[in-house]
Amino acid sequence: MRVVITGGAGFIGRHLARKLLERGELAGADGKPRKIGEIVLVDIVEAAPFPKPDSRLTVMAGDIADEKFTAGVMTPDTDSVFHLAAVVSAAAEADFDLGMHVNLDGTRAVLEACRKLSAPPRVVFASSVAVFGGDMPSTLTDQTALTPQTSYGVQKAIGELLVNDMSRKGFIDGRALRLPTIVVRPGKPNKAASTFASSIIREPLAGQEAVCPVEADARMWYLSPRRVVEAFIHAHDLPASAWGWNRSLTLPGIDVSVGDMVESLRRVAGERFVKRIRWEPDPVIKRIVAGWPYRFAPERALKMGFKADKNMDEIIAAHIEDELGGKPVD
C-alpha cells in the first residue's frame, strides 16, 4: 500500500514514518493488515535522510496549498494519508495570511486531491486542542463546543469540519485527532507558544540552560511523542464504523503543572538538571498559556482504545531512552 505523510519532514511526521517502517503494515480498506510498499514524505522543505536508509521511503518537496503539486502527490494508488503539514500556533497567529494559506487552503487542497482518487482513502488529520478557547467549562468533554480564540485554532476547526463533511459524502474515510501539547519534542525550540514545555526538560538533560517563561502553577494537557504516534496509527486502523458520524475527537493526555514537571525531572534525572532552569516569567506567553484548556474528560477516545501516558516521569524517561541513548548529559 502507498501511504502519504504531509508535514513528513516535521517532528511528528518523521516519528510516524519511522514507526510505520518498523511496523511494516497498516489496515487496508477492508480492515485486514496490508504491507506498506511506499511511504511518501511530503513537505515544503526536503525531509532529511533517515539514519537507516529504506527503499520504501520517497521524499517530495513542495507546497501542499499548490493544487497541482498536491494532485501529483496523490497518485491513483494512494491508500492512506496522514495530513500533518501546518504552520504551528504562534507562527499562524503572527502571520494571518500564511496560516490561512497552509492550514486552510493547504488542507482543502489535500482533501480535494484525496477526493479525486478512485477509492476513498483513509485520511488522518492532525487537529489541536486549540479549537477550544474563551469561556470554557473547568473540564472539557466530548460535547464541549469548538470556540477557538486564535487563527490557528479556527483553521484547525475548519479542517475538522471538512474532514467530517467529506467523510459523510463518502469522498474520504477521515479521522481528526485533537492533539494535546506533545512533550518532550526533540531538536530545537520552535515557534509554538508551548515550546518552553519541551525546553525545560530537553535542554537541562542535554547539558544546557533553559528559560521557563511561566510560573510553576501553569497547567497544560500533555502527550508524549511515543503515544501520539501510536494514536495516529490506531486512528487509522479503526474501522469507519467505530467513528460513525463524528470523525473528530480529543486525544487522552495528562494534566500537569510546570512545577510538577520540574519535580518529575528531579526524580528521574536529579537536582543538578533542575538547576539548569532559569525562571523568567514572560507576560505574553503567560497570558497565552493561561487561555489554554488543560483538563479534559476524553471518554469517547478512551472507549475507542486511545491511551495517555501514565505520568510525566514516564514521558521524561522515554525521552532519555529514545533521544539521549539512555543517559542525560552531565
Contact footprint for ligand NAD (CB under 6 A): 7, 9-13, 43-45, 63-65, 84-88, 102, 106, 126, 128, 179, 181-182
Minimum CB separation of residue 166 from ligand NAD in Å reads 18
Minimum CB separation of residue 275 from ligand NAD in Å reads 26
Minimum CB separation of residue 44 from ligand NAD in Å reads 4
- φ/ψ of 231, rounded to 5, equals -65, -40
Which of residues 11 and 294 has its CB atom nearest to ligand NAD in the complex? 11
Minimum CB separation of residue 150 from ligand NAD in Å reads 12
What is d(CA 83, CA 12) in angstroms, rounded to the nearest whole number?
11
Minimum CB separation of residue 201 from ligand NAD in Å reads 14
Which of residues 31 and 187 has its CB atom nearest to ligand NAD in the complex? 187
Buried b (16+ CB within 10 A) or exposed e, 33-43: ebebebbbbbb
Which of residues 29 and 60 has its CB atom nearest to ligand NAD in the complex? 60
Helix ranges restricted to H, 80-224: 89-94, 96-99, 107-115, 151-168, 195-205
Which of residues 170 and 264 has its CB atom nearest to ligand NAD in the complex? 264
- 125, 132, 152, 232: the active-site residue: 152
Which of residues 273 and 292 has its CB atom nearest to ligand NAD in the complex? 292
- The angle formed by the CA atoms of residues 50, 55 and 56, to the nearest 5 degrees, is 90
CB-nearest residue to ligand NAD = 10
222 included as an active-site residue: no
Strands (E), 17-99: 25-27, 33-35, 38-43, 57-61, 78-83
CB 196 within 8 A of CB 261: no
Indicate the pairing of strand 173-179 with strand 248-250.
parallel
240: exposed, middle or buried (Cβ count in 10 Å: 0-12, 13-18, 19+): middle
CB 44 within 8 A of CB 62: yes
Positions annotated as catalytic residues are 152
